[in-house]
Amino acid sequence: MKRARHQRGSVVFDKRRKTWNLLTSVDGKRRSKRIGTKQQYPTKSAAWKAAETFRSTAAPPEKERAPTVNALIEQYRAEKMPTRYSTRRSYEVWLRRIAERWGETCITEVQARPVELWLQSLPLAPKSKAEIRGLLARLWDFAMWCGALPTNRNPIQLVTVKDASKRQRQPRSLTAEEFKKFAAQLSEPFHSIALLCVCLGLRISECLALKWSDVDWLDGKLAVERGIVRQRIADTKTQGSRRALHISSDLLDVLKMWKQSTEFSADEDWMFASPARLGRQPWCYDEVLRRFSKAGEAAGIGVVLTHSMRHTYRSWLDAVGTSVAVQQRLMRHADIRTTMNVYGDIVTDEMEQASGKVAGLALTDRVSDRNARN
C-alpha cells in the first residue's frame, strides 16, 4: 500500500477495495475517510485534490474551551491582583462571592443579563453590587489580556446597577461646637489623633502610620509617607496623597506636648505607639473607632466615625472660604470631582447668609423704598 504524506493527513490507496482513503489523527486517534475509487481518481494527485475539497467543506475543529471563572480567578490572583493590602482584602471578599455563583462556569457564559439579574437578587448595597460588577469586568478584561479569549467588547459593560453612585448613609460632618464637645471626651493619644485628622484632613490609616521623624519642627511641616491597614504598612492610598502638609504653630504645640508625655518619643518611634505592643506597632484602627464612637455618644452628638474627621475638614475649608482648587490640593485628591461631590457638607449658617445676599441683589429697590419710608 503506497502512501502520500501530508501535514494534514495521508492519502492511502487500499489495493483490496481499490479505493483512496484519507488518514488523519484526531485527539491521538486514527481516523480514515473514503475519498473515491481508482476509476474516479486515477492518480494520487487527483485523490489529494478531492481530499482537499471535502476537507475544506468539513466542519472546523472544535475550539478550545474557555477557562472557568475559578481558573481565571486563580490566574488573576497570581498575575494582576493589586498589591495594596486594603485593596486586595476587599477584592478577596467579592471574588469569593463571585466564585460561589460562577466558579464552575466558563467565563464566556458570564453574560450581561444573567449577571444583572444575579446582582439584583443579592441583599447588598448598590455600591457593593457595583464593586462586584467592576471586578467581573476586570476578570473579562484579564481573560482577553492573557489570550484566553479573543479581544472583543466586554459584556459586563452592559450591566447596570441602580443607584450605584447614591450613598445609603450620608457622611457625618461636625460643627466646630460639636467637635469641641467630642474632643473633650477623648483622652490621649486619641485627642491628638482627632485633632490631627480634623486639622489636616488625614485619613486614619495615614495618621496612625506617622512617625516622629515625619515632623519638621523648624519649618512646621508634616510628611505623609505611608499608611497602615490592619497593622500592615503600605504606601499611601494614591501618589498624590504622599505630600508634606503645613502644620500651624498651635497644632505643633499639641504634638510637642504629646511627644513630651509619651514613652515612645524617638525619631523612629510611631507617633501613636501602642503600649500594649511595647511601641512596636501603633494603636489599631478598631480601638480608635471604639474610642471615637464612645466619645461621640458621651458628648450627646451620636456616633462619630474616624472618617468623619476628614469630611469635617472639607466642610470647614468651605466655611472659611477656601477655593475648590486649593481644597483639592489640601485634601490630596487626584480628581477634583471627588472633592466636590463626595466630601463636605454645610455646617454653618452659610446657606442662610448666601440666600440673603442673593435676595438683596434682586430686591434692592424694595429695600431702598422701605428705608426711605422709615
Residue-wise pLDDT tens digits, 312-341 = 988 888 888 888 888 888 887 776 666 665
Is the same domain home to 310 and 224? yes
Is the same domain home to 116 and 209? no
Kindly give the residue spans of alpha helices, DSSP state H, lying in the chain.
44-57, 69-79, 85-102, 112-121, 126-145, 176-184, 190-200, 204-208, 249-261, 285-298, 308-319, 324-331, 336-341, 350-362, 364-373
Last residue of a domain, one of 125, 158, 191: 158
Is the same domain home to 81 and 134? yes
The domain total for the chain is: 3
pLDDT surpassing 50 at residue 167:
yes
CATH number assigned to the domain comprising residue 221: 1.10.443.10
CATH number assigned to the domain comprising residue 74: 1.10.150
Is the same domain home to 230 and 302? yes
Is position 129 within any domain?
A: yes
String of DSSP letters for 127-189: HHHHHHHHHHHHHHHHHHHTTSS-S---GGGG---TTTTS-SSPPP---HHHHHHHHHTPPTT
**Residues present in the chain in total:** 374
pLDDT surpassing 80 at residue 241:
no
Contacts for 270 with CB less than 8 Å, ≥ 6 apart = 208, 209, 210, 211, 264, 279, 281, 282
pLDDT-based confidence at 360, cuts 50/70/90?
low
Is the same domain home to 119 and 206? no
pLDDT at 255: 93
pTM beyond 0.85: the answer is no
Work out the percent of the chain whose per-residue pLDDT is above 90.
45
pLDDT at 8: 59
pLDDT at 60: 45
**Which tops the pLDDT comparison, 260 or 243?**
260
CATH number assigned to the domain comprising residue 39: 1.20.5
pLDDT at 7: 46
> Is residue 35 within 8 Å of 11, Cβ to Cβ?
yes
pLDDT-based confidence at 50, cuts 50/70/90?
confident
pLDDT at 95: 95
Q: Which whole-number Å values give the CA distances from 261 to 184, 196, 254, 374, in the listed order?
A: 18, 17, 11, 63
pLDDT at 55: 55
pLDDT surpassing 90 at residue 17:
no
pLDDT surpassing 90 at residue 366:
no
Closest CA to 229 of 147, 284, 173: 284
Is the same domain home to 196 and 229? yes
Is the same domain home to 207 and 301? yes
Is the same domain home to 85 and 145? yes
**Which tops the pLDDT comparison, 87 or 74?**
74
**Which tops the pLDDT comparison, 110 or 9?**
110
Is position 7 within any domain?
A: yes
Is the same domain home to 50 and 190? no
Is position 171 within any domain?
A: no
Q: Can you tell me which residue has the cell 477557562? A: 67
Work out the percent of the chain whose per-residue pLDDT is above 70.
80
Is the same domain home to 219 and 287? yes
CA angle (318 as vertex; 315, 320 as ends), nearest 5: 115
CA dist 344 and 126 (Å) reads: 22
> Is residue 192 within 8 Å of 255, Cβ to Cβ?
yes
pLDDT surpassing 50 at residue 63:
no
Q: What is the mean pLDDT of residues 93-100?
A: 95
pLDDT-based confidence at 34, cuts 50/70/90?
confident
CA dist 314 and 305 (Å) reads: 15
Instruction: Compute, in degrees rounded to 10, the torsion defined by CA atoms 71, 142, 130, 110.
Output: -60
202 C-beta neighbours (distance < 10 Å), count: 25
Q: What is the mean pLDDT of residues 140-162?
A: 93
Is position 50 within any domain?
A: yes
pLDDT-based confidence at 26, cuts 50/70/90?
low
H or E element that contains 224: none
Is the same domain home to 134 and 249? no
pLDDT at 290: 95
Q: Which three cell numbers stand for residue 245?
A: 502638609
pLDDT surpassing 50 at residue 62:
no
Is the same domain home to 336 and 211? yes
- What is the residue range of 154's domain? 69-158
pLDDT at 66: 87
Last residue of a domain, one of 13, 29, 57: 57
